[in-house]
A and B are shown apart, each in its own frame.
Chain A
């Protein structure tokens, strides 16, 4: 681990000032990912700004009736919050599908958005990786790519975003409130994470000095017909091969509104609003879901080991939508899939 300086500000403006213009300075909250990466010598911050003393720890009613979640709310508090469980159970389930209780206790809401990929090459400094070392090449494209992306990839990078929570947030149309030197701004969840393109080293559209201060959930009700379905290499404590967050509003057996996001398939939570539009007005039944699944995967491309994800994603979309339509969301405790 490299030497670094350390600061522990108590308000947001001070935190933004403390991180300054140094591109290798990092904010640290739960540290569940950053510390690992520092030990691996992948992240080499010269300065750590500890934000755990900032007043960003509450879940409050947002203007407009939604919910404003402070960036420092631990993942477990968020998952088990009464209002979240009642109004946004999809988010609660997505969080509980990920990590372990110990990690969820440490991990913060803002930090979860900034998790870095689990690409095997990103973690191994002996191998080329464009995300870790721009211009060095992508080892995964012709390497071990079982866990890699099938949508939105580039010739520079086929890594995936590992978060479950973000998949739920994307489906729920969340907004990310960030603070920077020139004040606050709001980024739609769909615009927060990036596709790799020519700059795979950039995971998000967050500015270098910007700090996530809150995540806002809009005042919408998807608490009846929803499901978070996660498929992985063991039944718990593994990153998603494919996950689907599905939410429906159903009126007289017909779909009034649909939301869907996929995890484990792209460099960001994969949301395709054209697919959601296709569902509007259709009967809430399996026959309606298959064409939509095909549509979402229309441009999917595998790299060998991960070819199976294309079919798996199709099947997972249909199943998750079926679970949502039936009002029988996938349980995150019993691993049996219905």
Chain B
């Protein structure tokens, strides 16, 4: 049932919520006690090793696994020729987050649509044997010309007919952007590019399938949604829910790569069912470059403004890659109609088919790209008009969501600008580019705005209080390093007034109450609300029993007149009149009180209000221009995200997002060999993410923001907001330092030196 969520007072003071709490799973993680998908031991385990396509487009003409199968210890080599029958309906392969199209079927047929496509699985008694035998699988191909250059394919881009569920297409044009642009006294239009990025969580994708004698399976999968994996597997292999239990207690990072079930899950389950044995498939780091990634996207952004910087027109067009078999979509351009007050906007989004695997959601999908372009363009406008970058944003501050013509549920972005600027010392900035220097280094200060949607999804949770006073809360959500375990415990402990150590949290198990994939920054608001509702139900039940305890001092009070604190229910304002939880439990005569609740966003509120998280990011860079070396020496990120449940894990989320943004600005780039159609730097020695030396001071401010509409518990979510805008702030700081506007990320040594300066048309502004 869906509980009445209006009575969940998000502002009620608690002992834990809103404070800095260490991770309840921290000890397990640092001692190695936390087990990951590829680590669960089981007797008789076999090991699968994936053979990846060496060509980019074409078909397999011959596949000979006899040499591999002849190796002692090799059990079987699966290919498209001998695989078991699998579902024929595309719908069965479409998980919760799938875009429209026909999902890739591992070992589906002889056709190859992209480099690295899985084409065989070698199963052996040891991992080393499987890996060795994989090199002996002889494959012959017929190759066809491939499309792997977005620049070449942009002429064949199209507006996707079928829209991806949950992804808003660009809003209709507002006013007349072309006419307003033509008339604007200050205007420019530029192209922005961001390199293809791969998620590269530290833990590779892995699945361990434990085969039980009764034909059932326990599947340990690296995923952001255990029930999503369960549905995928049962649909494809014609199984009942009861046959497959998916477990994923810990996830070693995912950043969106664990939203869709990845091919190792399919292959491990298929092999286990065929062999009737337990099977583990772990992808190699190279293979982590053979699936989802942030799509290559070409953006063109034009801004027209009056001489004081008041926006007159924004035109923002994006063309993004997708695979030949699915129409992946994300929200790239809509932000340009949302973030600033502008009467004339025209926003378009198209995709082009290429021989790549379907791109996917990667931390702040779409916003990371679109807001980078918008915020870089706003910086250009600041210089073109001589208006301070912060001032320019305040001048164009959006008081309502113009895309949907709705008020915001809350928006403390002004406070973000003010507090961030103050902490950073922005007022001491000398506006002129190249005007700040220390020794050989040019110093640059730049800023940008960040924004992400505050979302909530229907989620269930169960709370169970035992006679001993211990509480268990459970939901089939995930903790991908974000702190879900801890915030669930905090909310539960506060709701029942018990110590956090008395709360056990169970997540990452498909047999637990229903929850969506953990993504989009919605888990805290969604699971948090469901946990609170379930605990509230337990609280009500317990209170009813407490009133019935013989001589109960609570007999004449309603639940709104008592407090749950320190293991007692006492009269509000009179702590001497109480019933202990233990006594109340004893009065029930039961071993436990349990409640399961489902909560969902209120449709009326959703219809009336737009919910967004905002931030203002300030960056300092130091640039040795001659050698092209950039150091990001200071970041201040002021975030307005509604209620902050845990100051410590919340700060960690923002730190992680900012470091991700530093990587996007300066380092991350999957290099495509356009002749071969392969990503070539498929390892983390050559695919660079920031190292310790690249990360200096990061100062996180949480701006006070009251919101009773985005979610019943006032939470907006923090998973993405740390990255959005960060790369723009850094790129803007590099311009301020050097006077060089680089519109193609990452900004590497060669670009700072000028040798590889992008050849996009730069008009007016400079």
Residues on A lying within 8 angstroms of B by beta carbon are 1-3, 39, 41, 118, 120-121, 123-124, 126-127, 139, 142-144, 146-147, 231, 233-239, 241, 307-308, 311-312, 315-316, 319, 335-338
Q: Give residues 617-667 of B contacting A (CB, 8 Å).
A: 622, 624, 626-629, 631, 666-667
Contact across chains for A144 and B681 when beta carbons are under 8 A apart? yes
With A127-B678, A144-B680 already in contact, the answer to whether A237 and B691 are too (CB < 8 A) is: yes
Interface-facing stretch out of B61-69, B216-224, B357-365, B747-755: B747-755
B397-440 to A contact mask, C-beta < 8 Å, 1/0: 00000000000000000000000000000000000000000011
Are A124 and B749 in contact, with the CB atoms below 8 A? no
A124 x B439 contact (CB < 8 A)? no
A311's partner among B629, B682, B755 (CB-CB below 8 A) is: B755
Per the bound structure, the CA–CA distance linking A238 and B671 in Å amounts to 16
| Cβ of B2 under 8 Å from chain A | no
Q: How far is the CA of A1 from the CA of B749 in the complex (A)?
A: 37
> Nearest CB to that of A126 among chain B residues?
B54
- In the complex, the chain A residue whose C-beta lies closest to that of B54 is A126
Can you list 24 residue pairs at the A/B interface with Cβ under 8 Å? A2-B135, A39-B131, A118-B685, A124-B680, A126-B52, A126-B115, A127-B676, A127-B680, A139-B675, A142-B675, A231-B749, A233-B667, A234-B691, A235-B631, A238-B685, A238-B691, A241-B749, A308-B755, A315-B626, A316-B627, A336-B631, A337-B440, A337-B629, A338-B440
The answer to whether the Cβ of B132 comes within 8 Å of any Cβ in the partner chain is yes
**B106: Cβ under 8 A from any A Cβ:** no
A121→B748 CA distance, assembly (Å): 22
Chain B residue numbers with a CB within 8 Å of A237 are: 691, 693
Q: How far is the CA of A238 from the CA of B746 in the complex (A)?
A: 16
Closest-CB distance, A214 to chain B (whole angstroms): 29
B residues near A233, Cβ cutoff 8 Å = 667, 688, 748-749
Q: Which of B132, B673, B749 contacts A308 (CB 8 A)?
A: B749
The interface bits of chain B over 721-760 (1 if a CB of A lies within 8 angstroms of the residue's CB, else 0) are: 0000000000000000000000000001110010110000
A308:B750 contact, CB within 8 angstroms = yes
Give A335 to B439 CA distance when docked, in angstroms.
14
A234 and B749 form a contact (CB under 8 A): no
Contact with A along B690-706 (1 / 0, CB 8 A): 11111000000000000
A127 and B116 alpha carbons, distance in the complex (Å): 12
Taking a contact as CB atoms under 8 Å apart, the answer to whether B753 and A312 are in contact is yes
Q: Which residues of A lie under 8 Å from residue B667 when comparing CB positions?
A: 233-234
Q: Are A312 and B693 in contact (CB under 8 A)?
A: no
What is the bound-complex CA distance between A146 and B746, given in angstroms? 14
Tell me the interface secondary structure of chain A in the complex: loop
Establish whether residues A235 and B681, one from each chain, have CB atoms under 8 Å apart when the complex forms: no
A2 to chain B, nearest CB (A): 6
Are B678 and A126 in touch, CB under 8 angstroms?
A: yes
The complex places the Cα of A120 from the Cα of B676 at a distance, in Å, of: 13
Cβ–Cβ < 8 Å partners of B681 in chain A: 120, 144
Collect the chain B residues with CB atoms within 8 Å of residue A315's CB.
626-627, 753
A307 to B691, alpha carbons, bound, how many Å? 26
Q: Which of A2, A41, A234 contacts B694 (CB 8 A)?
A: A234
**Docked CA distance A287–B704 (Å):** 57
CB A171 to nearest CB in B, in angstroms, measures 19
Given the contacts A120-B681, A139-B676, A144 and B671 also touching, CB distance less than 8 Å: yes
Instruction: Find out whether the CB atom of A1 lies under 8 angstroms from the CB atom of B128.
Output: yes
Assembled-state Cα–Cα distance A118/B687 (Å): 12
Interface contact B749-A235, CB-CB below 8 Å: no
Whether, in the assembled complex, B39 has its beta carbon less than 8 Å from a beta carbon of chain A, the answer is no
A139 to B682, CA, bound (A): 16
* CB neighbours of A2 from chain B (8 A): 132, 135
B685 touches A239 (CB 8 A): yes
Q: Is the C-beta of B25 less than 8 angstroms from some C-beta in chain A?
A: no
Q: A124 and B685: CB pair below 8 A?
A: no
- Are A336 and B673 in contact (CB-based, < 8 A)? no
A235 touches B693 (CB 8 A): yes
In the complex, chain A residues whose CB is within 8 Å of the CB of B673: 127, 139, 143-144
Counting CB contacts under 8 A, is B466 at the interface?
Answer: no
- Residues of chain B contacted by A337 (CB below 8 angstroms): 440, 624, 627, 629
- Chain B contact surface mostly: loop
* Residue pair B439, A238 in contact (C-beta under 8 Å): no
Q: Are B132 and A118 in contact (CB under 8 A)?
A: no
A237 to B755, CA, bound (A): 24
Q: Please state if A235 and B627 are interface contacts (CB–CB under 8 Å).
A: no
**In the complex, how many angstroms separate the beta carbon of B208 from the nearest chain A beta carbon?**
21
- Give complex CA distance A308, B624 in Å: 16
Partner of B629, one of A118, A143, A231: A231
Contact B694 A231, beta carbon cutoff 8 Å: no
Contact with A along B503-519 (1 / 0, CB 8 A): 00000000000000000
CB–CB B691/A236 < 8 A:
yes
Task: Name the one of A143, A234, A338 contacting B680, with C-beta atoms under 8 angstroms.
Answer: A143
Q: Give 19 new A-B contacts, CB below 8 A, not counting A126-B678, A311-B755, A312-B628.
A: A1-B128, A2-B132, A127-B676, A143-B676, A143-B680, A144-B671, A146-B750, A234-B690, A234-B693, A234-B694, A236-B692, A237-B693, A238-B685, A238-B688, A308-B750, A308-B756, A312-B749, A315-B627, A337-B624
Q: Which 7 A-B pairs have the closest CB atoms?
A: A308-B755, A236-B693, A308-B750, A126-B54, A235-B693, A120-B680, A236-B691
- CB of B286, distance to nearest CB on chain A (Å): 8
A144 to B691: give the CA distance in the assembly, Å.
23
Question: Assuming A335-B631, A338-B440, is B693 touching A120 (CB within 8 A)?
Answer: no
User: How far is the CB of A314 from the nearest CB of chain B, in Å?
Assistant: 10
B residues in contact with A123, CB < 8 Å? 683
A336 in contact with B750 (CB, 8 Å):
no
Q: Are A335 and B676 in contact (CB under 8 A)?
A: no
Q: Is B686 interfacial (CB 8 A cutoff)?
A: yes
Instruction: Flag if B135 contacts A41 (CB, 8 Å).
Output: yes
With a CB–CB cut-off of 8 A, which chain B residues contact A238? 685, 688, 691
Does B441 make an interface contact (CB < 8 A)?
yes
Identify which of A120, A319, A335 contacts B686 (C-beta below 8 A): A120
Chain B residues with CB below 8 A from A241, complex form: 749
Enumerate chain A residues within 8 angstroms of B439, measured Cβ to Cβ: 338
Q: Which of A139, A144, A311, A312 has the most CB of B within 10 A?
A: A144
Q: Kindly provide the distance from the CB of A15 to the nearest chain B CB, expressed in whole angstroms.
A: 26
A121-B680, A143-B680, A312-B627 known; A234-B688 Cβ under 8 A: yes
Candidate in A1, A3, A233, A311 with the most chain B CB atoms within 10 angstroms: A233
Q: Verify B694–A236 contact, CB threshold 8 A.
A: yes
Does the CB pair B676–A147 fall under 8 Å? no
Min CB distance, A54 to chain B, in Å?
Answer: 27
Max chain B Cβ within 10 angstroms of own Cβ: one of A121, A237, A239: A237
Q: CB-CB < 8 A to B693: which residues of A? A: 234-237, 335
Q: Give the complex CA separation of A234 and B631 in angstroms.
A: 9
B262 CB to nearest chain A CB (Å) = 20
Bound-complex Cα distance A241 to B692 (A): 19
CA distance A233 to B627 in the complex (A): 12
Q: Output the nearest chain B residue to A241 by Cβ-Cβ distance.
A: B749
On chain B, the residues within 8 Å of A142 by CB distance are 675
Q: Which residues in A have their C-beta under 8 angstroms from that of B628?
A: 231, 312
Given contacts A143-B676, A308-B756, A316-B627, is CB(A235)–CB(B682) below 8 Å?
no
> Are A235 and B694 also in contact (CB < 8 A) when A337-B624, A338-B439 are?
yes
Q: Are B753 and A308 in touch, CB under 8 angstroms?
A: yes
- With a cutoff of 8 Å between Cβ atoms, the chain B residues found around residue A336 in the complex are 441, 622, 631
Q: Which B residue sits closest to A238, measured CB to CB?
A: B688
Among A126, A234, A236, A237, the most chain B Cβ lie within 10 Å of the Cβ of A234
Nearest Cβ in chain B — how far from A293, in angstroms?
12
Residues of B within 8 A of A39 (CB): 131
Closest chain-B Cβ to A238's Cβ sits at a distance in Å of 6
In the complex, the answer to whether A124 meets B631 with C-beta atoms within 8 Å is no
Taking CB atoms, residues of chain A closer than 8 Å to B286 are 124
C-alpha spacing A236/B691, complex, angstroms: 6
Chain B, Cβ-Cβ closest to A310: B755
- A residues less than 8 Å from B750 (CB atoms): 146, 308, 312
Residues 4-63 of B at the A interface (beta carbon under 8 Å) = 52, 54
| Chain A residues within 8 Å of B753, by CB | 308, 311-312, 315
